[in-house]
Each structure stands twice: as structure tokens, then as C-alpha cells.
Amino acid sequence: MHVLHVVGARPNFMKAAPVLAALAGTSGIRQSLVHTGQHYDASMSEVFFQQLAMPAPDVNLGVGSASQAQQTAEIMARFEPVVMERRPDLVLVYGDVNSTMAAAIVCAKLLVPVGHVEAGLRSRDRTMPEEINRLITDQLADLLFTPSEDGDQNLIREGVAPEKIHRVGNVMIDSLVRLLPYAAGRKPAGLPQRYGLVTLHRPSNVDEPERLRQLLGVLNTISSGLEIVFPVHPRTRERMAALEVPRSAQARVHLLEPVPYLEFLALQQGAALVITDSGGIQEETTFLGVPCLTLRESTERPVTVSQGTNVIVGRDFSRLPEAVHCALAGNWKTPSPIPLWDGHAAVRIAEVIANPRAY
């Protein structure tokens, strides 16, 4: 049996690595790996492969950045001949990036079975491109691997056959559990002992100049009481450069280049709190027990709110200082264990794939 994995952006790498490892130990399965090149610079791609001990991709489509439609179309055009040549028995796609949906569409039209790892997540906000990717991928997939009960419920509500749904847990937590011991001591040098960690990349927060200027001003205000460590995503750095914000206005905001996975785990584990608009970081902070303040109006990971450390602050940035004050004062919720977030989700995926009756 030939299983072909498709990854494109760095969140995919953390999800695919444990599945690749679990299937490597499964008799009768051979694997290949396609990297679409959606994240293409070394800081966002190559170093993650190294730290996650992933094999080098068998194929790199080298797509690069473009508009949503252009990038999706280019992935489809370059991926179709790979599928036709390699003729996999199953294609696994991960998460909710453009590469995920594009690969699923290609496989559906070529009648190649698709498995979606991290299926069923819903923000119910169709202004987010990721939500469109999730909806389409889940309707096309033959195997839907969900991380939590809400994923199962969403899929059933949308008419997905229950026998296609397999709740396996969270593969991102698999990577975190395995690599957290190696993150000790990997925090970048020269940073304060006590800090808040910030990540921002969503267009709704960084693409509108005045909103980004307002957000940077709020972070600067917060930094008077808690220094800020801010590894800056390439698209965010580009938007910030266009604003020409004086460096003196952010003296206690430490701007970093994107950091590799182990270094970022160390930063998360050591943070007093995390301010983010990322999805995966909501999950990681919940597992680590670190307060998470999410700058979005909704989340596709509600279990991180109901059972974790995540609070949806919204996009009214004036609410952020009060939320920071609550977290620093210890007025924050204590997470409870989430079923199947135990570091063994990939093993459960491998067991389903190895069962010929599963699809």
C-alpha cells in the first residue's frame, strides 16, 4: 500500500511528522512525501523538517506565495501529474491551508482516496480562507481524522457518513510531547526572564495599516509592565516595515526573526502568557498550561476555550490590556485534560489506515 503525504506550510509539518513515523513502523505500507512549497524559505520550512526528523520530500512543487486563487490553482496544476505518476492508494492531507484543499480536489477528481488529518474543525467564519479549505476538504475526504468531539459533531451535522469519521486525538500534541524535552535550553539568548509571547499573521490583523498600527501601539503599552517577545512572520514584517514605526516606540518589544520549532516551544513554555491569532498555538498553550489570548472573533478549536487556557479576546484591541492584567494577576482558568491529546494520535491513525475495511 502506498500512502502519499501532502504538506505545504509549517503547521502541516508538525502534524505530518508523527504520522510518517507511525506508518513507517506499519507492515506493508510505503510512503512518499510531497511538499507544495507554500512556505518556502528556510526559516518557515527547511529547519522544521530537520528538527521534526522528517524525511526530505520526494517532490517539492515549489509553488511559493501568490493570491489565494493563484496559489491554489498552481498547486493543483503541479500536483495532478505527481498523483498520476505515483498512483498512491491513499493521499493524506493535513490541517486547513491551501495545499490541503488543492490536493483534496485533485485526488477527488482522479478517484484517489483522501484522508484528512485534523478534520471537522469549524470557526463558522467564512471570511477566513482556512474555513473554506476545511469545508471543502471534509466533503471530499474518505477518512476524516478528528482531534476532538466537536469535530465529530460538526461533520455529522454536515452530512458526513459516521463510518468515515475517526476520532484519534491531536497529532500536533504528538510532536509537542515528543520534542518538548529537547526544547529545554533552546530559548534564544538575550531575552528577558519574564515576558509575553506574541505571534501575528492573519490578514484581518496585519493587512490593514491603521489596525496594525493600533495593535502595535497596544503591545507597546502592555510592554511597560511586561516585556514582549515577538517572532515576526514574514508577511507581518513586510506590513510593519511599510508603517515605518520608529524602533524607539517599541523599546520593550523584542522583534525576532521567525524561530525554529524547538526554540518556539521553549519560548511558549517559558512565557507568562501568549497573545496570538494562530490556531495551533491555542492548542499548544492549552497543553502547556500557559494563558492564551486570541485576537480573533471566533475559534475553530472551541475545546481550547471550554477545557483549556484560551480566551477569545476578539479584534477590539482595547480589550487586550485588561485580559493581560487578568492573566498576570493569576485570574485565569486551569486547563483540564482533553481526551486523546496524549501523544499517541498518530498511532491511532496508522491503525485505521492499516485496516483495509476502513475505506
CB-CB contact of 173 with 343 (8 Å): yes
5-19, 53-67, 235-249, 257-271: the lowest-pLDDT one: 235-249
From the candidate CATH numbers 3.90.230.10, 2.60.120.430, 3.40.50.2000, 2.60.40.1840, the one assigned to the domain spanning 189-258+271-328: 3.40.50.2000
| Per-residue model confidence (pLDDT) at position 78 | 98
| Per-residue model confidence (pLDDT) at position 254 | 94
* Annotation says 2 is catalytic: no
The average pLDDT across 192-207 equals: 93
Domain ranges of the chain: 2-181+341-358, 189-258+271-328
The average pLDDT across 68-94 equals: 97
Q: What is the SS3 assignment for 104-157? A: HHHHHHCCCCEEEECCCCCCCCCCCHHHHHHHHHHHHCCEEEECCHHHHHHHHH
Total count of residues recorded for the chain: 359
Q: Which of 35, 39, 166, 201 is catalytic?
A: 201
Encode pLDDT of 129-162 as tens digits: 999 999 999 999 999 999 999 999 999 999 999 9
From the candidate CATH numbers 3.30.365.10, 3.60.150.10, 3.40.50.300, 3.40.50.2000, the one assigned to the domain spanning 2-181+341-358: 3.40.50.2000
| Per-residue model confidence (pLDDT) at position 318 | 93
Which residue type occupies 143? Answer: L
Encode pLDDT of 221-261 as tens digits: 999 999 999 999 888 888 888 887 665 556 789 999 999 99
Encode pLDDT of 308-352 as tens digits: 999 999 999 999 999 999 999 999 999 999 999 999 999 999 999
Q: What is the mean pLDDT of the chain?
A: 93
pTM, to two decimals: 0.94
Q: For residue 279, give the nearest of 148, 96, 104 by alpha carbon.
A: 96
In the chain, % of residues over pLDDT 90: 85
CB-CB contact of 299 with 276 (8 Å): no
Q: Evaluate whether 2-181+341-358 and 189-258+271-328 have a shared fold.
A: yes
CB-CB contact of 68 with 97 (8 Å): no
